[in-house]
C-alpha cells in the first residue's frame, strides 16, 4: 500500500512537468502581453517596452520557460506583473485557505444532503419524496450558480438578514472563537451555492447505484439469510454503492478548488478561481503558472485519495 502511494506520488513529477510545459506554451501563445491593455494616453508606451525588456518577456519562449522552471523548482514562483511586483505566493496565500475551506464546506453540504436523500429515494422509489428529490436535482442542475447565489443573497441575507452577503469575515476587529464562528457564518451561503450542482448530481448517482445494488443477487441472499433491512443497507448496499461516488469526489475536489469563479465573484469571496481568471485575462504569466500547478496537484491528489478510499470501502481492491 505505502509503496503504491509513493509510486503514485513519484508519477506526479513528470505529470506536473508536462502540465507546466503545456500551460506555459498556451499562455504565451495567447495574443498580447500583460501591458497590452494598459492603455493610458498619459503614459508613453516606451515605458512598457522598457518593462517588457526588463522582465525578459522579449526573450525566446524556451529561454523564458527554463528561467521559470529553474526558479520554480527552488520554490520561487516569481512576482506578479500586473499586481506591481507582488510575490506570487503572497497573492496566492490569502486566497488559498479561503478556497480550501469553501471547497470543504461545499463538499460537506453536498454529502449530507445528497447521500441520505439518494438512499431514501432508492429504497422508496416513486414515492412523493423521491419525486420531490428528482425535481430538486433537475432544478439544481438547471439553475445557474450566479442566479442561485443572487437569490440566496437577496432573500436570506438582505431581506431576512440571516447570513452576511459578502466576504469571508465581518471586519478586522473580530478574533479567536468569534472570528471562527463569523467565518463559518460567512461560508454557508457560498458553500451551499457552490455545492448545489454537486448535490443534485450525487443524489441521482446515489439513487441509481443503491437501486442497482439492491437488485443484485447477494442482497437477495443476505435478505434470505434473514438479515435485518438495516444491516443489509449499511453492511452490503452502501459500501458497494459508494464506489462511484468516491471516484466522482476525487475529481470534484479539484473542480471545487479551481472552478468556483462565479460563486466567488457573486459573494465577493476572494478565492483562487477569480485570481486565476484575472491572471489569464491580464496575461499575468507568473500567477497563471503557479495556479496551474496548484490545481494540477489538487486534481492528482484528489484522484490518489479516491483510489486509496476504494480499497478502504471495497476490500477486494488491494494495491501493492
Partner 1 sequence: MLNKKLWYLLIVLSLFAFLLAACNEEGGSDPGDEEEPAETEDPAEEEEPAEEEEPAEETSDEPVEGGELIGAMDTAPAGVFNPIFYSEAYEANILDFTHESLVGQNDNLEFIPELAHDWELNEDQTELTLYLEEGVTWHDGEEFTAEDVVFTYESIASPGYVEAGGIRTAFVTPLEGYAEFNAGETDTFAGVTAEDEYTVTFHFAEPNVNPLYYASYSIIPQHVFEGVAIGDMPTHAATLEPGEVIGTGPFAFTDMVEREQYVLTRHDDYWQGKPYLERITWQINDQSVISSLLENGEIDFVADPSGVPAADYEMVSGYDNVEIIEQTDFGYQLMGFKMNYRTTEDVESGTINPNNWVENPNVADQQVRQAIAYAIDRPGLVEGLLYGRGSVINAPIAQQFWAYTEDVPQYEHNQDTANQMLDDAGYVDADGDGWRDMPNGDEWVLDLAFPTGNQIRERSAPVIEENLEEVGINVNLMQPKEMTAYTEDIMTSDDEQEIDLYLIGWSLGSGDPDPSGLWSIEAAYNMSRWNNPESDELISQALQAPEAFDQEYRTEVYGEWQNLFATDLPAVLLYAQNKIYAFNERLNGVDPLPYAFANNPHLWWVSDAQ
Torsion of CA 16, 20, 21, 26, to 10 degrees: 140
**Residue 16 or residue 314: which is nearer to partner 1 going by CB?**
314
Q: Does 10 sit near partner 1 (CB under 8 A)?
A: no
Compute the distance between CA of residue 7 and CA of residue 125 in angstroms, rounded to an integer: 44
Tell me which residues in 102-141 interact with partner 1 (CB under 8 A): 112
Tell me which residues in 25-54 interact with partner 1 (CB under 8 A): 30-33, 36-45, 47-51, 54
**Residue 74 or residue 172: which is nearer to partner 1 going by CB?**
172
Cell of 226: 434473514
Alpha-helical runs (H) found in the chain = 2-29, 45-55, 61-72, 88-123, 128-142, 145-152, 176-214, 217-224, 229-231, 238-258, 261-266, 272-282, 285-313
Q: Of these, 128, 172, 217, 224, which contacts partner 1 (CB under 8 A)?
A: 172
SS3 label, residue 283: coil
Q: Of these, 118, 209, 283, 294, which contacts partner 1 (CB under 8 A)?
A: 283
**Residue 49 or residue 59: which is nearer to partner 1 going by CB?**
49
Q: Of these, 71, 124, 166, 221, which contacts partner 1 (CB under 8 A)?
A: 166
User: How is 53-92 classified by DSSP, letter by letter?
Assistant: HHHTTTS-HHHHHHHHHHHHTTT---B-TTTTT-BHHHHH
Q: How many of the chain's residues bind partner 1 (CB under 8 A)?
A: 63
Positions touching partner 1 (CB under 8 A) are 30-33, 36-45, 47-51, 54, 79, 82-87, 94-95, 112, 150, 153-154, 157-158, 161-162, 164-172, 181-182, 184-185, 188, 234-235, 238-239, 265-268, 270, 281-283
Amino acid at each position: 500500500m505505502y509503496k503504491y502511494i509513493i509510486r503514485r506520488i513519484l508519477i506526479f513529477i513528470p505529470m506536473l512537468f508536462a502540465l507546466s510545459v503545456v500551460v506555459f506554451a498556451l499562455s504565451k501563445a495567447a495574443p498580447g502581453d500583460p501591458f497590452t491593455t494598459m492603455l493610458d494616453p498619459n503614459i508613453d508606451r516606451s515605458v512598457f517596452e522598457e518593462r517588457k525588456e526588463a522582465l525578459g518577456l522579449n526573450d525566446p519562449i524556451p529561454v523564458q520557460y527554463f528561467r521559470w522552471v529553474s526558479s520554480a523548482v527552488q520554490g520561487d514562483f516569481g512576482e506578479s506583473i500586473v499586481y506591481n511586483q507582488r510575490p506570487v505566493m503572497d497573492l496566492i496565500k490569502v486566497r488559498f485557505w479561503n478556497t480550501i475551506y469553501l471547497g470543504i464546506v461545499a463538499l460537506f453540504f453536498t454529502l449530507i444532503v445528497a447521500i441520505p436523500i439518494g438512499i431514501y429515494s432508492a429504497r422508496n422509489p416513486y414515492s412523493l419524496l423521491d419525486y420531490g428529490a428528482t425535481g430538486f436535482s433537475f432544478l439544481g442542475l438547471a439553475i445557474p450558480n450566479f442566479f442561485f447565489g443572487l437569490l440566496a443573497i437577496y432573500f436570506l441575507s438582505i431581506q431576512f438578514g440571516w447570513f452576511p452577503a459578502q466576504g469571508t469575515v465581518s471586519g478586522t476587529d473580530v478574533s479567536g472563537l468569534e472570528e471562527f464562528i463569523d467565518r463559518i457564518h460567512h461560508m454557508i451561503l457560498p458553500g451551499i451555492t457552490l455545492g448545489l450542482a454537486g448535490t443534485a448530481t450525487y443524489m441521482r448517482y446515489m439513487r441509481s447505484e443503491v437501486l442497482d445494488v439492491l437488485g443484485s443477487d447477494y442482497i437477495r441472499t443476505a435478505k434470505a439469510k434473514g438479515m435485518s433491512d438495516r444491516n443489509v443497507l449499511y453492511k452490503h448496499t452502501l459500501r458497494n454503492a459508494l464506489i462511484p461516488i468516491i471516484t466522482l469526489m476525487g475529481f470534484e475536489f479539484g473542480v471545487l478548488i479551481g472552478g468556483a469563479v462565479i460563486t466567488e465573484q457573486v459573494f465577493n469571496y476572494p478565492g483562487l478561481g477569480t485570481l486565476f481568471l484575472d491572471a489569464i485575462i491580464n496575461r499575468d504569466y507568473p500567477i497563471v503558472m503557479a495556479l496551474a500547478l496548484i490545481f494540477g496537484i489538487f486534481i492528482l491528489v484528489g484522484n490518489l485519495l479516491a483510489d486509496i478510499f476504494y480499497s478502504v470501502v471495497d476490500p477486494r481492491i488491494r494495491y501493492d
